[in-house]
Chain A
């Protein structure tokens, strides 16, 4: 018996010798260890997630909410947007994309870059971080900031939008103070092969956008003047381009979502809204075209008949009166698999500068920047030099500067990014609601009476969300479902028609 125990003991001892190594195998072989991942491998992922959030989802939602887009016949993927309806589930994926994929990874980059004093990379990550927080505020009004990105806190509190804006501006200042033009920047698609110089310009443009956006509620003149004096704003549009390919996983986001057959929905959803079409192309009482914006054909493709026709917000009914080919009846946005994702355009910056001077009642400077903005927009659209006709149609008017800038900006952004357009419409309150409603313009599913539509106005959709009502914009998104259902500190929703802080 003793012997047997000895044997058992021997066997067990043997089995457990070097057992520790044998058991230490819990490292996922499919994923690189955190230690070997460097900023060159992370920054492109941050950019791409920001590009998809901004150019795909937010562009589409924004397009419907500010009546650049309307819905195609017979499909219903986004008909709720077209009716100014928004729910917590709709934005949940983008909320996650911005926090988990953009901000969380940007934070890793910032820390690694700070540790190794790579201030060029630090600035790039800080700029993209500021962009993402700005989007979150523009979507929800309030968003977790001070307690965000800390996995030790499962219930991060929401911070006021203005506080978030001011805090990320301070972060940009700090990053700008450390970076110099010659600093190297980790691998990225925004400025491939470049040093920190264009990132400094991008950061300044980002600051300008946020500072002017706040100017209705806070005087940021000194800070804006400092940016102007610094003379370090971008001289070219900032975009992710040249990397797209016509294959699954590599197409430009808006095209991939709405036009490609390679993934997701194959349905056609997004078509032009009659508001933007009839603003960019105007007719007289006889129906003769009196004005066509040179950018129109660059922003929207003509329908099968070669005409520019936009649909009405809030309707998507199919029709059964032949002969009629609805698939090609409404205009669709011009899109291609390699279309650039614009992060910042010269036109946007010029409009902000125009606003800065308009608020200071410096009409000359305001007009100069306003005209420059339209010229830049034409250049972005590929019709450089065609701005005179636009300026003649929508001349700057200092006494109605909100309307001048609001309407022209809405048009300019219609082919750049509709979320930015939507944000600026909410803030400037222009284009404003006209007197004619969607119901009044509705004749049949394929015929809308646009004779009473006034160019550069919005209208109440044919079917509008019961909680928004007539002549109102959807001012904010309900807090994301992925936050609201998991975070006890998600505040009570302030209501669909309560403006974001900058819109008060």
Chain B
């Protein structure tokens, strides 16, 4: 400690000697068009984190050394860089959409002029983010950034979203980018129970209105500086800072919206056949394999207390759709911000509320979030700036799970076509509860399911920073920043007990309601997740003649940890509604877990600029990670980028206004997950077949442990990503046409992989380094402004990305160079996706029909296809071929119409919903041949002697073979019948905004009012063969983002949102 004090005092003394060379620079920023002051323009000192905004008259004050470069920018204006002068400065900004020289705030919180960047960094402005009107700001990026794929797991309230930048690199680990808010990395936290993915922390708790901009850094060169966690890119979020208002020192802004949601994507159901099985009418079946609907009056369901239900045996085409309500959500945000009269202090405070009630009936699918954000900075003297931010978010989510069994969705999809669902809403009737529900086959009345299942998440997140910037000499800025992100998540799931005795059942038609009996349980988990960061940065900026120099040296110390405790109790005393562990009649099992990891990073960056046209940047970083084997936990990675603004050499012309060539090469290392380096034992258990952890220790006073299923590795190496990229930025016709093209080539080598191995090795998984994955691709962005007059403006922007992904190597020992990413196996069906050498990640394998050499399908004695006994390559892959987006906005006299289209084309997904539609006979595909007998076309029987004879055995309904044809043989496609073309084009958003004329505002003392009407998820265009789901949904996010691409198990249908927004600035 003594040593430390000594160092500190040396530090302070040193500062004392060199300060006082900075001065207060004052000036005014005006518009070239009318010479009026521009309020709210950003003024930053290049190469530092210092910045301010102009007041309502356009004036500013900033601490800077004369000669330092000031970057002045304002939305819609061309940014300028000027040397700071001691005299009152007048800075003129020209209107501009070229955005030639954006100021990009990088992950370390340092602003850089975009033209100096040798890599792709795409910025999305506040306006674009709020315009998307999504509760989760991650979704606001959808369709807007080339090469960025936003995977929203569903449209249920509170659903989590994932972002993938430039394709999948990591076979086994995370492909998520690093999220950085004002220099603080946030930990993405979500709940993945009940096959649902609910956001509980990270950036999902940011209010869109608090965001100034989001910048996506894509390449390894861009991310090398930000450490291991940036190997998959960085999403940098800058929040709004306080500024003076037009006529006062403060602003008050209110934004509020109300929206309504409606169910948008349901499977296409058949309406010709009713309840039954194998062509026969049965009264208790959970599907529609019965006889043709004829409108006759029929009984159905069990006889209970000498009563039985009666209905017309005719289709109720909208029975499933009728179940859903109109969802309502509202959102309010109020922000108060300002700056002191001398501009030395600024502050921003906001509160926002989001309340979202989804399309499920009642208030069982809801999300509520309160956020409070406070930040400010103070420049007490010209060499010191102190800034801090504190954010608090509280969310609660009620989740409607999508699991197999007594979930709403399983109840909906395993419902007969001839039964009216809305008539089942009255839960006081025994016929609408499991006691006498019409089908007891493991599923139940969706109304009962929604009322009795419970899944509730509560989360509180606190994050913020404390930062000190010191300028000991004019060229040098020393920064210390402490960042904290803490999330506290409480999760609770309650499954009701069903304890039926069938006492009043007079007739169950072969399967008693008591088969639905379940003991019920309460599961509770409390998690605390934290992340702490210390950053020490030193930046040095200087200019000699035509030469610019920026140097950065930094040290980052990071600690992340996680503590959780969960408990479960079974055999409930209260069947439903009392979701406490004390409700358990049997036992309460508690378990706990902790994890902690640390990392130290030392890094440096040198940028050299010449004549404002040539920039070269070198970066290097060394990390030490606690998750790698002690003694071998250090790894180094460098990067270099160059950019050349070649248009500086061209004579001024009206065609090409700006041209930049850029090139970058960089590496990023990545460490492992925690606890993969040492052998370990776990408390013992034994799995049954359907009953996992059937045996749990301790048993009868005996505790036991067994070897972990995963073998750790004491020789793990960090995984390395290297990426080369070249790009071209062109602006034509004064910014009316802009092109940004990028080609990149990325190799991720030495992947840290938890490899599934033959259990005969003694383990089920093994941690190892192997495998090389390549992503190469192009990203194209075309920005156009076809119309631009004084009062009319039309912008039309396109982005396109194509990524070619290939697994370059996997060890041969691994089943011929392939490894399972995700799988579905149930009964005799199995669908796998593999990472396989020589193929893009995510190749689908399944049991396929067998064929003769001349392509005839071989069938068995029953006329059914003979499927392979091991899984075969389908030739289908889960990755999209290309993605693209179109955004447009048309402004006329203050009215703006804008829209976003997001397209993802190619690729396949696993769909259990599709399978379920055949299993139940509810799907349109089960009308094949009108359910009449047929012989599988082009099929033969193997004579056993190398010859084949024509198959004459028909498939028909009454002997089960028609249904088996669908359920066991995938309609002669085997397991491939589970796969669905995942292509879609989504009109994500249309909005119409009216900015009320300024002159009206003056009369009512408002600064601005705008009204917006919008529709989200307007329309989804899917492949012709997709009768089933919105292909964006996923159920497998719990297994990692690559596995999440596998598909869906059961998914709630997505919804469409209609809303109105009011924005008022006082």
Contact = CB atoms under 8 A, between A and B. Distances in A.
B688 A478 contact: no
B761 A101 contact: no
Contact of B695 (A75, A105, A249, A466): A249
Classify chain B's interface size: 35 or more
A30 B707 CA distance: 13
B285 A26 contact: no
Contact of A154 (B511, B690, B758): B758
Interface in A54-112: 56-57, 60, 73-77, 80, 85, 87-90, 92-101, 103-105, 107-108
B776 to A, nearest CB: 29
B426 interface: no
B762 A149 contact: yes
A243 B281 contact: no
Contacts of B815: 485-488
Classify chain A's interface size: 35 or more
B860 interface: yes
Interface in A38-67: 41-46, 48-49, 51-52, 56-57, 60
Contact of B681 (A37, A77, A96): A37
Contacts of A469: 861
B598 A25 contact: yes
Contacts of A6: 10
Contacts of B14: 3-4, 7
Tell which of A12, A44, A107 has the most Cβ of chain B within 10 Å. Answer: A44
Given A257-B690, A487-B758, A74 B441 contact: yes
Contact of B509 (A94, A256, A318): A318
Nearest to A28: B675
Given A52-B687, A56-B689, A99 B760 contact: yes
Interface in B580-608: 586-587, 589, 592-598, 600, 602
Contact of A482 (B285, B628, B699, B758): B758
A285 interface: no
A451 interface: no
B536 A11 contact: yes
Interface string A241-282: 011111111110100110011111111100000000000000
B757 A486 contact: yes
B553 interface: yes
Given A37-B681, A48-B695, A155-B758, A266 B442 contact: yes
A30 B517 contact: no
A399 interface: no
B1013 interface: no
Interface string B516-539: 111100000000000000001010
A306 interface: no
Contacts of B594: 29-30
Contacts of A60: 689
Contacts of B509: 318-320, 322, 324, 326
Interface in B696-716: 696-697, 699-700, 702-709, 711
B860 A467 contact: yes
B761 A153 contact: yes
Given A100-B759, A469-B861, A52 B694 contact: yes
B694 A85 contact: no
A52 B686 CA distance: 7
A96 B757 CA distance: 10
A392 interface: no
Given A187-B702, A486-B815, A266 B518 contact: yes
B791 interface: no
Contacts of B589: 248-249
Contacts of B679: 34
B973 interface: no
A23 interface: yes
B303 A322 contact: yes
Contact of B510 (A25, A31, A52, A324): A324
Contacts of B813: 154-155, 488
A333 to B, nearest CB: 16
Interface string A1-23: 00110111011101110011011
B343 interface: no
A323 B601 CA distance: 76
Nearest to B441: A74
A324 B758 contact: no
A151 B510 contact: no
A49 B705 CA distance: 12
Given A23-B624, A463-B960, A45 B684 contact: yes
A97 B686 contact: yes
Given A87-B828, A261-B518, A326-B511, 20 more contacts: A3-B10, A11-B7, A24-B626, A30-B594, A31-B675, A44-B704, A74-B510, A87-B827, A93-B687, A100-B763, A150-B761, A151-B763, A260-B519, A263-B693, A264-B689, A320-B510, A323-B507, A325-B507, A485-B820, A486-B758
10 contacts: A14-B7, A31-B675, A37-B705, A104-B707, A151-B763, A257-B691, A263-B693, A264-B688, A265-B442, A478-B869
Interface of A: 3-4, 6-8, 10-12, 14-16, 19-20, 22-34, 37, 41-46, 48-49, 51-52, 56-57, 60, 73-77, 80, 85, 87-90, 92-101, 103-105, 107-108, 143-144, 148-151, 153-156, 187, 189, 242-251, 253, 256-257, 260-268, 317-320, 322-328, 445, 463, 466-467, 469, 478, 480-488, 490, 493
In the A-B complex, list the 8 residue pairs whose CB atoms are closest, starting with the nearest: A466-B860, A264-B691, A249-B696, A45-B684, A326-B510, A104-B762, A264-B690, A327-B512
